[in-house]
Structure 1
Amino acid sequence: MSRMLTKSDYDKLKEEYEYRNTVKRHEIAKKKMEAAAFGDRSENAEYKAAKEEYYHNNRRLGQISRLLKNAIIVEEDKIDDEVNIGSEMLLKIGADETFKAKLVTTLNISVEDEDIEYISVDSPFGKALYKKHVGDSIDVNLPDNRSIKDIKIISIKN
């Protein structure tokens, strides 16, 4: 499955991949060798921890590799009235319910900011918003066969 990434996101992933594949892998191998020298591996907590770290690092390398391989690089255009990656929007649902949202790549989703809803550009909602303009209304079909109708873009801040 392809993911939209900014050039900056792509470069960060490549950097993490290189670090994990060289420096981190070497550090883990050294830890495993030192822990193995302590003797019986079946009761060796240091060896088991190093082995778990090795598997975790390899899993992350696989994830990053798939993301890089399937990435679609998109520009962070700053067109004033167009929704793009990084845009903060005021959206209106129905007659009077409004909320703030920010369109981001999957790598930049945050759950810590309670004042704004982060929407991945790869989600159905994000795909519907991407490249729309102030005043546009969208309908979103969700994966569970539900839909949200008539979401209006009130304002965009890039």
Structure 2
Amino acid sequence: MRKGYTRQPQADQPGPQVRNYITPGGLQRLKDEHHFLLTKDRPAVVEVVAWAAGNGDRSENADYQYGKRRLRQIDSRIRFLSKRIEAAEVVDPEAPRSGQRAERVFFGATVRYENAAGEERVVSIVGVDEVDLDRNHISWQSPLGRALMKAAAGDQITLHAPRGAEKLIVVDVRYERIAVEPFKEPPGSVASAKETER
């Protein structure tokens, strides 16, 4: 899965909680990763660290040093995911809409548009944690996502991109299920290796 450029919010810094708009599938993926890290990956790494600590000198013990570094990474990711899940504001694209909420582009819309050359493209507007360029899922905070917001079929918009301004025409706006790739256990994780040993 290719990820688009998304800035990871500074979740550890104080300040107002930023709303984390997300689809139901995206929230489930965050929860699944959080659960995996807490119940499988972290306990497996703790077990390796405990074993490595019993092998003597820790200053030259690669298993111990790697394990401790990996634990810090896991704990940091768990904290980040906890804050993103806590701040989540679920928006279901399949929820019934009426009036302008059904005709204009808002979070969760699937939009077909064309550029000046007449080439058409379809994108779905999702949360920053769900960006997947292989599936044409773009963030509502991306330049294209912001340019499309509140547009309706037939509207001409201007995309301000690094390569210059580009005129786009919105062809179609619809609200339907957005399939988010589910969380999969990473094949190289310590937890996966322990499962294979059994």
For 2:142 and 2:35, the matched residues in 1 are separated by: 28
Q: Which stretch has the larger CA shift, 57-66 or 14-23? A: 14-23
Letter in 2 for 1:87: T
Letter in 2 for 1:26: P
Match of 1:137? 156
- Once the two structures are superposed, residues 97-146 of structure 1 have per-residue CA deviations (whole angstroms, 9 ceiling, x without a partner) of 534141233333234x3xx754212324213324533212223456x8x9
Counterparts of 1:15-26 in structure 2, within 5 Å, are 15-26=32-43
The percentage of aligned residue pairs carrying the same residue is: 24
For 1:99 and 1:117, the matched residues in 2 are separated by: 13
Which one of the candidate residues 111, 126, 129 is aligned to 1:107? 129
Higher strand share: 1
SS at match of 1:152: strand
Choose between structure 1 and 2 for higher RCO, CA contacts under 8 A separated by at least 6 residues.
2
Question: CA shift at 1:92, angstroms?
Answer: 2.6
SS at match of 2:59: helix
Match of 1:73? 90
- Unaligned runs of at least 5 residues, structure 1: none
Q: Contact between 2:132 and 2:138, CA under 8 Å: does it hold in 1? A: no
- TM normalised by structure 2 equals 0.61
Counterparts of 1:30-109 in structure 2, within 5 Å, are 30-77=47-94, 83=105, 85=108, 87=110, 89=112, 91-94=113-116, 96-103=117-124, 104-109=126-131
SS at match of 2:89: strand
Q: Contact between 2:22 and 2:130, CA under 8 Å: does it hold in 1? A: no
Letter in 1 for 2:170: I
SS at match of 1:108: coil
For 1:124 and 1:77, the matched residues in 2 are separated by: 24
Q: Contact between 1:4 and 1:122, CA under 8 Å: does it hold in 2? A: no
For 1:59 and 1:99, the matched residues in 2 are separated by: 41
Q: Contact between 1:139 and 1:148, CA under 8 Å: does it hold in 2? A: yes
- TM normalised by structure 1 equals 0.74
SS at match of 2:21: strand
Q: Contact between 1:101 and 1:118, CA under 8 Å: does it hold in 2? A: no
- Unaligned runs of at least 5 residues, structure 2: 1-17, 177-198
Question: CA shift at 1:60, angstroms?
Answer: 1.0
Higher helix share: 1
For 1:147 and 1:4, the matched residues in 2 are separated by: 28
State how many pairs are aligned: 151
Q: Aligned-pair RMSD on alpha carbons?
A: 2.9
